[in-house]
């Protein structure tokens, strides 16, 4: 908008394209190329094939992919329920309490995820809150980390809702539960879908807190990728990373379609 000449716009677009290609496209393309490579001793990979993907779709990597997907779906569901409940309660609270609630829910974003993982490990590693060594401590850590995004998305959508819908329903005799079920939640469906998609995407790639709390029986794919890379099996790690990206994108596309249908309704 600040560039008026055709040549100037072309230059700006060219610079923007170069930045996007270098910062975003090149790293992902390199990972995909490494996933297909049998050897990479020169400037380009050689012996291209799907052998790395065959190994990534079997054994530990395949099990870890299933664990990541289950963890992301459960953490996304829990964070969506808790975040929606908190956003609805905060919307009806005094201004000072809304500020406190907002600060509390965004606290996990302001500190390193490793700190969240350590806090969860210490808190839930003794009775009566003993979750250490179970899958639930991983799901809990992911829920804590993505809860802020679900809360923020729903809170922003609530602020944009026209209060006239709720007031009209109340004037016709509808109670709070009916207004919530028939008016507020249906209007929030697009925001709920977006919040769920963001929560799932963040959970699928989470490593810092997970590596602090995961048991051997519930290892997510990012942890497996980290361990595989640490052993020097870079091509296998690249194949697992590519699968992680693909599964995350498929989940987001499905949620996006559901969100689009909800918006049309």
DSSP output for 228-259: HHHTT-HHHHHHHHHHHHHHHHHHHHHHHHHH
**Over residues 218-246, mean pLDDT:** 91
pLDDT-above-70 percentage for the chain: 94
Give pLDDT tens digits for 7-27: 777 777 888 888 888 888 888
User: Mean pLDDT, the chain, as a whole number?
Assistant: 85
Crossing angle of helices 59-91 and 221-230, in 10° steps, is: 130
Give pLDDT tens digits for 237-257: 999 999 999 988 888 888 777
In this model, does residue 139 exceed pLDDT 90?
Answer: yes
Nearest to 78 by CA among 222, 207, 257, 203: 203
In this model, does residue 79 exceed pLDDT 90?
Answer: yes
What count of Cα atoms within 13 Å lies in the side-chain half-sphere of residue 108?
A: 24
In this model, does residue 188 exceed pLDDT 80?
Answer: yes
Nearest to 202 by CA among 228, 222, 225, 229: 222
Confidence at residue 211, expressed as pLDDT on a 0 to 100 scale: 93
Confidence at residue 219, expressed as pLDDT on a 0 to 100 scale: 93
Distance CA 120, CA 104 (A): 16
Confidence at residue 259, expressed as pLDDT on a 0 to 100 scale: 62
| Separation in Å, CA 261 to CA 24, 57, 245, 251, 264 | 30, 33, 24, 16, 5
What H or E segment, with its residue span, contains residue 197? helix 185-204
């Amino acid at each position: 908008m600040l560039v008026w000449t055709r040549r100037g716009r072309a230059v700006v677009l060219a610079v923007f394209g170069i930045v996007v290609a270098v910062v975003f496209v090149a790293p992902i393309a390199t990972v995909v190329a490494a996933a297909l490579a049998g050897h990479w001793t020169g400037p380009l990979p050689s012996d291209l094939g799907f052998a790395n993907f065959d190994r990534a779709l079997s054994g530990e990597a395949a099990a870890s992919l299933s664990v990541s997907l289950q963890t992301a779906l459960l953490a996304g569901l829990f964070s969506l329920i808790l975040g929606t409940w908190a956003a609805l309660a905060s919307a009806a609270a005094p201004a000072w309490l809304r500020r406190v609630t907002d600060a509390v829910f965004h606290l996990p974003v302001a500190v390193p995820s490793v700190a969240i993982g350590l806090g969860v490990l210490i808190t839930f590693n003794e009775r009566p809150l003993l979750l250490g060594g179970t899958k639930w401590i991983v799901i809990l850590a992911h829920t804590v980390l993505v809860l802020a995004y679900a809360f923020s998305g729903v809170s922003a959508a609530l602020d944009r809702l026209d209060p006239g819908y709720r007031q009209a329903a109340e004037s016709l005799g509808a109670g709070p539960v009916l207004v919530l079920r028939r008016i507020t939640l249906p209007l929030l469906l697009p925001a709920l879908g977006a919040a769920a998609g963001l929560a799932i995407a963040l959970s699928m790639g989470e490593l810092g807190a997970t590596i602090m709390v995961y048991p051997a029986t519930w290892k997510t794919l990012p942890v497996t990728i980290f361990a595989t890379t640490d052993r020097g099996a870079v091509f296998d790690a690249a194949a697992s990373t590519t699968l992680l990206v693909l599964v995350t994108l498929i989940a987001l596309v499905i949620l996006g379609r559901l969100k689009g249908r909800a918006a049309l309704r």
